[in-house]
């Protein structure tokens, strides 16, 4: 966890304009992909990818884009700190869970059977 105090920052007009430009670039790339349907497929895909990269670049220059980049950077740092279980630990834990699920399902089935016998055979025959 980061101990820095984060400043609340709003979105200004320049950020809104940049986000709108990023949206226009992305929509233009998608429209171009379908408009040039007669061109080679690889060129259409490369054009779409170029538009996506350009839109991400423009969007990342805004305040929300910088906040997202900071969040992703901090998340990757935290993910490196995670101690992942070994294969043996994972298999052992999975085995315990399977056994517990089987035991609980047998108990619930037994309770259901007992309640069925009590209600259907005893109470309804009174």
| Residue pLDDT, tens place only, 31-86 | 999 999 999 999 999 999 999 999 999 999 999 999 999 999 999 999 999 998 99
Cα(94)–Cα(23) distance, integer angstroms:
45
Mark 21-48 as b/e (b = at least 16 C-beta within 10 Å): bbeebbeebeeebeeeeeeeeeebeebb
Where are the alpha helices (H) located in 1-126, listed in sequence order?
Answer: 13-35, 41-60, 63-80, 87-116
pLDDT score of 121: 81
Q: What is the pTM of this model?
A: 0.56
Q: Is 29:48 a contact under the CB 8 Å cutoff?
A: yes
Structure tokens at 52: 């996506």
pLDDT score of 7: 55
Residue 9: pLDDT band by 50, 70, 90 thresholds? low
């Amino acid at each position: 966890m980061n101990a820095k105090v984060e400043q609340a920052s709003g979105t200004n007009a320049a950020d809104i304009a940049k986000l709108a430009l990023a949206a226009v670039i992305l929509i233009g790339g998608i429209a171009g992909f379908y408009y040039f349907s007669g061109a080679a497929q690889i060129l259409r895909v490369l054009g779409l990818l170029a538009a996506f990269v350009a839109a991400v670049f423009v969007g990342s220059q805004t305040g929300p884009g910088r906040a997202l980049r900071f969040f992703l950077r901090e998340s990757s740092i935290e993910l490196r700190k995670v101690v992942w279980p070994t294969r043996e630990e994972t298999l052992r834990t999975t085995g315990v869970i399977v056994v517990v699920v089987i035991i609980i399902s047998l108990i619930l089935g037994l309770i259901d059977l007992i309640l069925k016998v009590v209600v259907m055979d005893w109470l309804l025959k009174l």
